């Protein structure tokens, strides 16, 4: 009987799968590389251009490291709301051909809601919409903003740059 119960316990543990990853905290204000937990791709200011409408793509980590994959995150005091800025342009969401896609804008910021989820943080448009940054599965593809599902492709990891 004991062997049966032991085998049942092991089988139950195997069926349940791995232990869930804890949610990560909202990042502090600082400079980060922002990596998707599902695809491993990084947010990339395409070509490093700060011009209005320049697309924000996902891309493998540049080698050597480049500033177009570094983002200044500003979190408003006492909240989970903030902004993300490239060298001098903010990430904004624009409706393009019926889809909401990320690009940069040097003169207008978008308030973003940082939502702790298992394994990282979701970056969502705040506060009126229920849509979040979603990593495409193909590199060099512009990042869409899609309804929040808590899927791994909407989970982002903030890697500090230069002691952020």
Tens place of pLDDT for every residue, the chain, 164 residues? Answer: 333 333 333 333 334 445 567 888 999 999 999 999 999 999 999 888 888 889 999 999 999 999 999 999 999 998 999 999 998 899 999 887 778 999 999 999 989 999 999 999 999 986 567 899 999 999 999 999 999 999 999 999 999 998 54
Decide if 16 is inside a domain.
Answer: no
**CA 108, CA 71: separation in Å to the nearest integer?**
16
In a domain, 133, yes or no: yes
Instruction: Determine, yes or no, domain membership for 4.
Output: no
Tell me if residue 14 falls in helix, strand or coil: helix
SS3 157: strand
Cβ-count burial of 164 within 10 angstroms (0-12 exposed, 13-18 middle, 19+ buried)? middle
pTM of the model: 0.84
Q: Would you say residue 13 lies in a domain?
A: no
10 found inside a domain: no
3-state secondary structure of 124: strand
For 105, the 3-state DSSP assignment is strand
Provide the number of structural domains found in the chain.
Answer: 1
């Amino acid at each position: 009987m004991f062997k049966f119960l032991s085998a049942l316990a092991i089988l139950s543990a195997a069926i349940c799968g791995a232990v869930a990853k804890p949610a990560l905290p909202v990042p502090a204000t600082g400079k980060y590389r922002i990596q998707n937990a599902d695809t491993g791709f990084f947010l990339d200011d395409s070509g490093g251009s700060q011009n209005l409408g320049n697309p924000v793509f996902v891309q493998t980590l540049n080698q050597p490291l480049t500033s177009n994959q570094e983002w200044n995150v500003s979190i408003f005091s006492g909240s989970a709301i903030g902004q993300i800025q490239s060298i001098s342009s903010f990430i904004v969401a624009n409706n393009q051909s019926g889809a909401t896609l990320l690009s940069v804008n040097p003169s207008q910021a978008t308030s973003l809601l940082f939502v702790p989820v298992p394994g990282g943080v979701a970056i969502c448009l705040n506060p009126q919409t229920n849509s979040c940054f979603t990593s495409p599965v193909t590199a060099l593809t512009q990042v869409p903003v899609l309804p929040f599902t808590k899927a791994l492709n909407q989970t982002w990891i903030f890697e500090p740059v230069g002691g952020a």
